[in-house]
C-alpha cells in the first residue's frame, strides 16, 4: 500500500466537497492534492481544462452557477436569471469541505471559512449568494444542509479521504465508486 503523503485534514476537506457533490448529483472530474512544500515550490494543479491553479487541494467538477459570467452579462445589460436551487447546490458543495474539516479538527466552521483553508470556499459561496434575492437566507440554508449531508455521509468522507491521502490525483470514476459504495 502507498504511504500517506497528504495531511488528513486536507484529505477530509476535499473529500467533504467531493462526497456532497456526488450525493447532490454533480459530476466530479477528479480530486487533486499537493503538499505545502509542493505548493511553496510553485507546483500548480493543472485541471482537466488546462487551467493552472495555485492550491493545496482541488475538487474538479461541474458547477451550476458561474458568478463572474453572470456579473459580466449584467454589466452589459443582459439579465441572466439565476435559479436559487442551482446556486444552493454549488454553495452546499462549497460549504461541505469546510464543515468536514471542522468536524474532523473539532474547530469552528466559521473559523475555517474566514481564516483557514476554507476562505476561498467561503468567498465562492458569497459570490453565488450575492446573485440571489435572499443572500443571507441562502447562505444559512447552504451551511445547514452541508452540515446535515456531511454528518449523514461521514463514513464516505472518511473512506474517500483514506484514498486521497495517498494519491496526487484521484479520477472522478474512482471518487464516484467510493462514494456510492459507502453511501448506500
The pLDDT value recorded for residue 38 is 86
Beta bridge partners of 45: 53
The structural domain count of the chain equals 1
Q: Would you say residue 1 lies in a domain?
A: no
The pLDDT value recorded for residue 143 is 96
Q: Would you say residue 75 lies in a domain?
A: yes
The size of the chain, in residues, is 184
Q: Would you say residue 3 lies in a domain?
A: no
Q: Would you say residue 162 lies in a domain?
A: yes
Cell of 161: 479521504
* N-to-C CA span, the chain: 26
CA distance 184 to 182: 6
Neighbours of 24 (CB within 10 A): 16
Q: Would you say residue 171 lies in a domain?
A: yes
Q: List the domain range (segments joined by +) for residue 113.
A: 8-182
Beta bridge partners of 148: none
Ranges in the chain, pLDDT < 70 = 1-2, 4, 184
Task: Look up the CATH number of the domain holding residue 14.
Answer: 1.20.58
Q: Would you say residue 143 lies in a domain?
A: yes
CB-CB contact of 101 with 112 (8 Å): yes
Q: Would you say residue 115 lies in a domain?
A: yes
Q: Would you say residue 14 lies in a domain?
A: yes
Amino acid at each position: 500500500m502507498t504511504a500517506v503523503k497528504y495531511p488528513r485534514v486536507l484529505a477530509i476537506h476535499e473529500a467533504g466537497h467531493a462526497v456532497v457533490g456526488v450525493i447532490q448529483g454533480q459530476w466530479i472530474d477528479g480530486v487533486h492534492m499537493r503538499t505545502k512544500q509542493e505548493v511553496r515550490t510553485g507546483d500548480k494543479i493543472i485541471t482537466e481544462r488546462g487551467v493552472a491553479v495555485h492550491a493545496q487541494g482541488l475538487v474538479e467538477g461541474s458547477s451550476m452557477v458561474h458568478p463572474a459570467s453572470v456579473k459580466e452579462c449584467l454589466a452589459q445589460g443582459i439579465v441572466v436569471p439565476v435559479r436559487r436551487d442551482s446556486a444552493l447546490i454549488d454553495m452546499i458543495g462549497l460549504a461541505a469541505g469546510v464543515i468536514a474539516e471542522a468536524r474532523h479538527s473539532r474547530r469552528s466552521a466559521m473559523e475555517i471559512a474566514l481564516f483557514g483553508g476554507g476562505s476561498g470556499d467561503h468567498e465562492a459561496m458569497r459570490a453565488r449568494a450575492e446573485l440571489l434575492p435572499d443572500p443571507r437566507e441562502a447562505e444559512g440554508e447552504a451551511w445547514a444542509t452541508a452540515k446535515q449531508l456531511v454528518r449523514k455521509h461521514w463514513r464516505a468522507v472518511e473512506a474517500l479521504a483514506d484514498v486521497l491521502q495517498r494519491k496526487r490525483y484521484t479520477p472522478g470514476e474512482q471518487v464516484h465508486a467510493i462514494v456510492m459504495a459507502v453511501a448506500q
